[in-house]
């Protein structure tokens, strides 16, 4: 079997597919993982299967290539949609500590997944909460047509990109990303989250964390603060979502723009505007 081509990032959970079971590991960087092992050979066979069912194990740090031995593996941060991952440095420190303390665990079939989940999300996982955004979080704000995006920088404030609107779809102040129209000048502002949200609703939505590693929190905040002021705005290529994802991941991405381009909403809205004029 071939290995997955997906490159893991530090703190990622990796699933390794064995013949009769799955091994769960945490990638700690440098080509190494920490996972539960019996200390025996990783060769596929009944003895390893029985150990997986009933044997005692301990946390082990070893090269991913040795843990996988050519088997199928993939990154599986499967609870990121539900729980807030711990900071990467905390995940790594906890994993390295576990690999050094020689603590005995029960059979991997009961503890392997639980072990890596505790490393990535903590012994008491923290659910995502709209009431408690953390610095660096992406904030998605519901608007009448499209969502507006901002980056939370702490103390109740967000940094976000504002652009102009067509009157057809809302006011400039309340719906900065409501209409796919021509290029506009924009401005990055630092404002209170409650003022930006107004009478709408919002949620924490770090929806690309599974795909791109976020920048360090302080780097996100510093970069956001530095960008406050006039800037370029284009609803399809440089909108508020592009701005927010670029701050968090260093990648400009907008699922809304992609959807508009796929479905041809530009033509529909253009027709509506022409009919009104």
Options 76, 177, 181, 240, the catalytic residue = 240
Q: 40 to each of 36, 46, 73, 102, 149, how far by Cα in Å?
A: 11, 13, 20, 15, 50
What gap in Å lies between CA 225 and CA 188, rounded to an integer?
9
Provide CB contacts within 8 A for 96, sequence distance 6+.
28, 34, 61
100 counts as catalytic: no
Options 35, 76, 160, 177, the catalytic residue = 160
Q: 199 to each of 142, 144, 147, 187, how far by Cα in Å?
A: 10, 11, 14, 22
242 counts as catalytic: no
78 counts as catalytic: no
What gap in Å lies between CA 160 and CA 233, rounded to an integer?
12
Options 76, 148, 177, 242, the catalytic residue = 148
Work out the burial of residue 177: count CB atoms within 10 Å of its CB; fewer than 13 is exposed, 13-18 middle, 19 or more buried. buried
Contact 151, 220 (CB under 8 A): yes
| CA proximity to 235, closest of 210, 257, 220, 208 | 257
By annotation, the residues acting in catalysis are 148, 160, 240
């Amino acid at each position: 079997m071939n290995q997955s081509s997906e490159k893991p990032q530090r703190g990622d959970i990796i699933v390794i597919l064995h013949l009769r079971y799955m091994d769960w590991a945490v990638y700690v960087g440098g080509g190494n993982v920490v996972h539960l092992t019996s200390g025996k050979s990783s060769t596929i066979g009944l003895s390893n299967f029985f150990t997986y069912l009933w044997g005692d194990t301990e946390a082990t740090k070893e090269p991913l290539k040795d843990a996988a031995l050519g088997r199928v593996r993939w990154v599986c941060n499967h609870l990121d949609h539900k729980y807030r991952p711990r900071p990467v440095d905390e995940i790594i420190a906890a994993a390295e500590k576990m690999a050094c303390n020689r603590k005995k665990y029960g059979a991997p079939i009961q503890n392997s997944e639980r072990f890596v989940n505790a490393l990535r999300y903590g012994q008491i996982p923290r659910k995502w909460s709209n009431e408690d955004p953390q610095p660096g979080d992406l904030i998605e704000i519901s608007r009448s047509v499209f969502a507006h995006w901002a980056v939370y920088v702490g103390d109740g404030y967000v940094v976000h990109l504002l652009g102009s609107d067509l009157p057809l779809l809302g006011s400039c102040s309340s719906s900065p990303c409501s209409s796919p129209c021509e290029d506009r000048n924009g401005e990055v502002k630092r404002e209170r989250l409650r003022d930006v949200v107004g009478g709408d609703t919002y949620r924490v939505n770090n929806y690309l964390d599974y795909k791109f590693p976020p920048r360090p929190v302080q780097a996100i905040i510093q970069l956001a603060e530095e960008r406050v002021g006039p800037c370029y705005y284009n609803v399809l290529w440089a909108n508020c979502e592009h701005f927010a994802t670029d701050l968090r991941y260093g990648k400009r991405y907008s699922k809304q723009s992609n959807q508009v381009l796929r479905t041809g909403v530009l033509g529909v809205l253009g027709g509506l505007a022409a009919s009104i004029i």
